[in-house]
Amino acid sequence: MNITFDELREIKHKLPTGSVARIAQELGIDQQTVRNYFGANKFDEGDVTGKHLQPGPGGGIVSLGDTKILEMARRILSEQN
């Protein structure tokens, strides 16, 4: 799946407090891995997240190999509405 970097960051910023921890716990991964997925680059504490950033409009195009984290984030956002 492809998404702009700006769109990915916007989704992360809309998440309610505690969402990173919730996603990490439900998927059995480190919280820093979730943060890295949404644009952080602290790989000494989290895993690489299977994404590739290509330069372009909107902060660049992010190709996501695994969309589980994004799907959970969208589900959390839909629960708010």
Domains in the chain: boundaries = 2-80
pLDDT tens-digit readout, 29-53: 999 989 988 887 665 655 555 666 7
Single-letter residue type at 27: L
pLDDT tens-digit readout, 53-80: 788 888 888 888 899 999 999 999 999 8
Q: How far is CA 9 from CA 28, 38, 41, 76, in A?
A: 22, 6, 13, 15
Write down the pTM of the prediction: 0.82
